[in-house]
Structure 1
Amino acid sequence: MNILLWIAQLFLAAVFITVGLAKAVVRMDRLQKAMDWVNDYEPKKVRAIGILETLGGFGLFFPGLYPIHELVIPLSAAGLAIIMVFAAISNFNRGEKQEMITNIVLFVLTSFVVIGRLALG
């Protein structure tokens, strides 16, 4: 179980750090071309989402290197799961049903990490 959790955590960390950093640092005009939803939000909100996703991604990986991972990893995963719920709602409201699949898969994986890490304690 621990190995599956680490595989999920590393995958999620790679996804959220990559996408989060893009939202946090890429110029807004380039982001708007790559991600349509960016046009619906103020740049500060997009940057905040990117920073939260990046921090959550790091929270899935780095605390495992230290004895503090029992609490930080499930909290990071829970925060990312919440972000995915709001992302799915946003995609639903925009009529982007295909994009919701990605949100749902990421939500399931982050929930798996939360439950698994709390169970292993």
Structure 2
Amino acid sequence: MHIAYWILAGLLAAFYLYAGTLKTTRSRDQLRPMMAWVDRTPLPALRALGAVEVLGAAGLILPPLTGIAPWLATAAALGFVLLQAGAIAVHLTGGDRRIALNAGLIVTAAVTVWLATRL
């Protein structure tokens, strides 16, 4: 179970660290080719979302690694489930039906929640 957690948590953390860093550092024009929804989102909200993703990535890795408040890993993974549920809603309300990545991330985060409760 520990190995499965670390594999999934590592993949999720890498993805969200990358995505969050892009959202906090790049301009709307640079993000538009990757994320069609950025024009419908205020820039401060986009930056905040990126910061939440970076902090969530740290929350998946640091608490179990250090042994300090390991329940935060479960909270971070659950937060990513909720984040992706919101992302699917944003995509669908904007007429964008490309939600396969979001669906994959929500399943991966849900399995990570389950594995984090077993640590």
Deviation of 1:28 (Å): 2.4
Q: Counterpart of 2:90?
A: 90
Partner Cα distance (1:70, 1:94) in 2: 37
**1:3 and 2:7 matched:** no
* Cα deviation digits, residues 36-77 of structure 1 (max 9, x gap): 100001100111111101110111112222112530100111
Separation of aligned partners in 2, 1:10 and 1:58 = 10
- The two structures have a TM-score, normalised by structure 1, of 0.91
What is the CA–CA distance in structure 2 between the aligned matches of 1:15 and 1:24, rounded to whole Å? 14
Question: Which has the larger share of helix?
Answer: 1
Runs of 4+ in 1 over 3 A off after TM superposition: none
> Percent of counterpart pairs with the same letter?
28
**TM-score normalized by structure 2?**
0.92
Matching residue of 2:56: 56
Amino acid aligned to 2:89 = I
RMSD over equivalenced CA pairs, Å = 1.3
Q: Please, which runs of 5 or more residues in structure 2 have no aligned partner? A: none
Question: Structure 2 counterpart of 1:5, which letter?
Answer: Y
Count of aligned pairs between the two proteins: 119
